[in-house]
Every structure is written in structure tokens, then in C-alpha cells.
Amino acid sequence: MSYYLSRTINAAFDEVVKRVIAALKEEGFGVLTDIDVQATLKTKLGADMPSYRILGACNPSFAHQALQLEDKLGVLLPCNVIVRNAGDGQTEVAAIDPVTSMDRTGNPKLAAVADEVRARLLRAVEHA
């Protein structure tokens, strides 16, 4: 079982970032954090790498439900979604698979929430 959901798109990086944010919004997620990994590594290490962003997505309703079932679940929140330049005009979008990550808690009560969050993230990835 993979720990992420992904899709590669034949589109420019900046355009895909906008599409991902819009698709997440359509599925009820807000973007709490936006980390420009390329810029951060360049600044901190002088390292060059292709465009790479980590978007910390959160659906408040599902986060609330999950936290009521597992009080330390915050270590797995928000749901990270990456957008990265895959080369040759391709951009990859990948999101954490919440079913896999929440399964690690050993709390079966989280399964229904994880399934719904997974379905919404998968739709957002597919519609980006």
C-alpha cells in the first residue's frame, strides 16, 4: 500500500499550484501552510533543485472529528500535498494517503474519517 496519492500533469508548475489550491477548496480544504522547498533549500543550503511546494491542507470539520477520536492525531495534520516540477513540462501532484497514515494509530474508529478524507484528496489530485 502506497503512502501517497499522485498524478502527473502536462502543465506548468505555477499553473498546477493554482489548480491544486482551487481543487482543494472545492473539496472543503483550506491551505494552512505553503512551503517553497526550492527557495528554502537554496537560502539555507545553497542547493539547487526543481520547483517544489508543500501545501498543508486542512478540512476543519474532518480534523475536528478525528481529533475527538484520537487526541494526538495532530502529529499527522495537516494533510500534506506536494506540487513538484517533474521535468519535461510535467508537474506531479501528490497527497498523503490518510488511510495509510491514520491506520498507524491503531484506532479503528478513525477509518470512516480517513476514508472520506482520502476520497476528497483523491478528487482534488485528479481535478488539479
Query: pLDDT, tens digit, for every residue of 59-88?
Result: 999 999 999 999 999 999 999 999 999 999
Q: What is the pLDDT of residue 14?
A: 97
pLDDT for 77: 95
Question: What proportion of the chain, given as a percentage, has pLDDT over 70?
Answer: 99
- State mean pLDDT over 86-97: 97
pLDDT for 1:
63
Number of structural domains (the chain) is 1
Distance CA 8, CA 30 (A): 22
**pLDDT bracket for residue 32 (50, 70, 90):** very high
The CATH number covering residue 12 comes to 3.30.310.70
- What's the CA gap between 57 and 65, in Å, rounded? 16
| pLDDT (average), residues 29-55 | 98
Residue 43 has pLDDT above 70, yes or no: yes
Distances, alpha carbon 29 to alpha carbons 11, 21, 48, 86, in Å: 23, 9, 31, 25
pLDDT band at 102 (very low <50, low <70, confident <90, very high): very high
- Residue 26 phi/psi, 5° resolution? -60, -30
| pLDDT (0 to 100) of residue 121 | 98
The range of the structural domain enclosing residue 27 comes to 4-127
Name the pTM for this structure: 0.95
Return d(Cα 75, Cα 7) in angstroms, integer.
26
User: 85-101 burial, b for 16+ CB within 10 Å, e for fewer?
Assistant: bbeeeebbbbbbbbbeb
* pLDDT score of 119 more than 80: yes
